[in-house]
Amino acid sequence: MAGMTKDFEPIPLPDYAEYPPGEMQARAEAFRAEIARRHTVREFSSRPVPRSLIETCLRAAGTAPNGANHQPWHFAVIGDAARKSRIRLAAEEEERAFYAGKAGEEWLAALKPLGTDPSKPFLEIAPWLIVVFGARSSASADGVMRKNYYVPESVSIACGFLIAALHHAGLATLTHTPSPMGFLNEICARPANEKPYFVVVAGYPAPDATIPRHAIEKKPLDEIATFFE
Ligand code: IYR
* Residue 78 contacts residue 84 (beta carbons within 8 Å): yes
The per-residue pLDDT for 86 is: 98
pLDDT of residue 6: 83
Whether 36 is covered by a domain: the verdict is: no
Domain annotation covers residue 81: yes
Cα distances from 116 to residues 2, 113, 201, in angstroms, run 50, 8, 15
Would you state the pLDDT for residue 150?
A: 98
In a domain, 10, yes or no: no
Range of the domain at 86: 49-219
Residue nearest atom 6 in ligand 1 by C-alpha distance: 111
* Count of Cβ atoms closer than 10 Å to residue 212 Cβ: 15
Q: How far is Cα 54 from Cα 49, in angstroms, rounded to an integer?
A: 8
Say which CATH number the domain at 103 has.
3.40.109.10
Cα-to-centroid distance, 34 and ligand 1 (Å): 25
Q: In whole angstroms, what is the distance from residue 16 CA to residue 7 CA?
A: 24
3-class state of residue 202 by DSSP: strand
Question: What does the buried/exposed string (b/e) look like for 77-108 if buried means 16 or more CB atoms within 10 Å of the residue's CB?
Answer: bbeeeebbebbbebbbebbeebbeeebeeeee
Q: Is residue 43 part of a domain?
A: no
Residue whose Cα lies nearest atom 9 of ligand 1: it is 111
Helix (H) / strand (E) containing 196:
strand 194-203
Ligand 1, CB within 6 Å, residue ranges: 95, 98, 111, 114, 116, 176-179
What is the spatial distance between Cα 203 and Cα 152, in angstroms, rounded to a whole number?
A: 25
Q: Could you give the CA distance from residue 117 to residue 96 in angstroms, rounded to a whole number?
A: 8
Regions of the chain with pLDDT less than 50: 1-2
Sign of CA dihedral 27, 33, 37, 40: positive
Of 106, 111, 173, 197, the one to substitute when testing ligand 1's pocket (max ligand atoms within 8 A of C-beta) is 111
Q: Which residues contact 194 (CB under 8 A, 6 or more apart)?
A: 74, 133, 134, 135, 136, 185
226 in a structural domain: no
- Is 7 part of a structural domain of the chain? no
E strands present in 12-109: 73-78
User: pLDDT digits over 14-54, tens only?
Assistant: 999 999 999 999 999 999 999 999 999 999 999 999 999 99
Report the domain count for the chain.
1
Specify if 72 maps to a domain.
Answer: yes
Position 3 scores a pLDDT of 52
Asked if residue 9 is part of any domain, the answer here is no
Per-residue DSSP letter, 2: T
